[in-house]
């Protein structure tokens, strides 16, 4: 926030105080640049807002967001209140200061009452102790096992960082080749001479959202349907597999059904937002991705999205 401590009229002083109050009330961290004390930073400010000489001015990630003048036009600080809410709430969640409850093998009744019937459609939780008896928990630790059982079966693989990124695509390949090239990242394409294969190998590969267990019943024998699935309304919709190398990311999205996500090998960081946050997560407005957010949560572009 750019301010000045000299030549300040009463109105300017009150505007600065008001903007600070709003930022602080919403727990938004900010840097105050007093141009009277740091005149060199005036040119930095003007570079970002050549048409605005009003103070105070608010900038996020080097972009002008608003001054007293524009904020008053926008219904008396309402836009700033929205901005503070977005920054505060998204910032709070990014810090990971709220964690979902961990439940050690809750009873069906407890799971149903506490996690499926709560207001708003359910409260997520992490269930521990529900998978130790799955053969997959030991067998799948060895990639050699998966190669041996299903290495020759053709599976769909997503190529690219994730489905919202340019250059993302899908390809069919044998599961064994996927494991070698994309999970273990051993260069199996050497000797094929195919320049295209070489280029594809460099993209991240993700066997994602695939009904692998319908396709390969030998692998279905390694998992057991958790009893909690019986609590859903109607039939089980689908049992999908996600299998990828470390660092794989799925963009923020919502699904039409309740989900149980069972982690067999490795670890996964899952970030959840309540349905009430949807407008501030800016879902795509058209196309096939209206269930996905336009925000890259690892690097949110707050300057572009607070205003829309």
Ligand X SMILES: O=C(O)CCC(=O)C(=O)O
Binding-site ranges for ligand X (CB under 6 A): 242, 250, 255, 259, 261, 268
Q: Which helix (H) or strand (E) holds 82?
A: helix 78-94
Q: What is the distance of C-alpha 168 from the center of its chain?
A: 17
Find the radius of gyration of the CA atoms of the chain.
26
Shortest Cβ 162–ligand X spacing (Å): 9
CB closer to ligand X, 108 vs 270: 270
Q: Please report, to the nearest 10 degrees, the dihedral formed by the alpha carbons of residues 245, 147, 260, 296 taken in order.
A: 20
Minimal CA–CA distance to 282: which of 293, 271, 296?
A: 293
Task: Give the E-state strand segments of the chain in sequence order.
Answer: 2-3, 33-34, 57-60, 63-67, 101-104, 125-128, 154-159, 169-174, 205-210, 241-243
CB closer to ligand X, 4 vs 292: 292
In angstroms, the CA 301 to CA 60 distance is: 9
In angstroms, the CA 248 to CA 76 distance is: 44
Shortest Cβ 279–ligand X spacing (Å): 21
Burial of 28-48, coded b for 16+ CB within 10 Å and e otherwise, reads beeeebbbeeeeeeeeebeeb
Shortest Cβ 239–ligand X spacing (Å): 11
CB closer to ligand X, 38 vs 259: 259
CB closer to ligand X, 14 vs 263: 263
Angle at 134 between CA 129 and CA 140, to 5 degrees: 115
Shortest Cβ 5–ligand X spacing (Å): 50
CB closer to ligand X, 113 vs 238: 238
270: its two tokens: 């899952």
CB closer to ligand X, 8 vs 249: 249
Shortest Cβ 8–ligand X spacing (Å): 52
CB closer to ligand X, 172 vs 267: 267
Phi-psi region of 7 (alpha: psi -120 to 50; beta: other; left: phi over 0): left
In angstroms, the CA 207 to CA 130 distance is: 24
Shortest Cβ 255–ligand X spacing (Å): 5
CB closer to ligand X, 141 vs 263: 263
In angstroms, the CA 171 to CA 169 distance is: 7
Closest residue to ligand X, based on beta-carbon distance = 250
Shortest Cβ 260–ligand X spacing (Å): 9
Shortest Cβ 237–ligand X spacing (Å): 11
């Amino acid at each position: 926030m750019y301010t000045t401590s000299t030549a300040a009229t009463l109105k300017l002083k009150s505007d600065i105080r008001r903007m600070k109050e709003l930022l602080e009330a919403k727990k938004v961290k900010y840097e105050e640049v007093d141009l009277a004390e740091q005149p060199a930073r005036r040119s930095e400010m003007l570079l970002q807002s050549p048409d605005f000489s009003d103070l105070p001015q608010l900038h996020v990630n080097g972009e002008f967001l608003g001054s007293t003048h524009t904020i008053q036009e926008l219904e008396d600080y309402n836009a700033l209140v929205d901005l503070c809410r977005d920054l505060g709430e998204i910032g709070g969640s990014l810090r990971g200061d709220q964690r979902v409850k961990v439940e050690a093998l809750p009873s069906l009744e407890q799971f149903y009452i506490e996690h499926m019937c709560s207001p708003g459609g359910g409260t997520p939780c992490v269930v521990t102790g529900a998978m130790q008896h799955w053969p997959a928990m030991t067998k799948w630790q060895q990639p050699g096992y998966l190669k041996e059982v299903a290495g020759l079966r053709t599976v769909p693989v997503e190529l690219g960082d994730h489905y919202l990124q340019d250059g993302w695509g899908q390809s069919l390949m044998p599961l064994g080749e996927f494991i070698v090239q994309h999970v273990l990242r051993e260069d199996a394409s050497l000797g094929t001479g195919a320049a295209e294969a070489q280029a594809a190998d460099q993209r991240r590969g993700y066997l994602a959202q695939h009904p692998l267990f319908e396709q390969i019943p030998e692998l279905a024998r390694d998992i057991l349907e958790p009893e909690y699935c019986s609590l859903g309304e109607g039939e089980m919709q689908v049992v999908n597999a996600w299998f990828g190398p470390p660092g794989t990311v799925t963009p923020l999205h919502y699904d039409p059904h309740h989900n149980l996500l069972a982690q067999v090998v490795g670890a996964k960081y899952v970030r959840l937002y309540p349905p009430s946050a949807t407008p501030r997560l800016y879902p795509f407005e058209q196309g096939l991705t209206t269930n996905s957010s336009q925000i890259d949560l690892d690097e949110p572009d707050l300057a572009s999205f607070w205003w829309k």
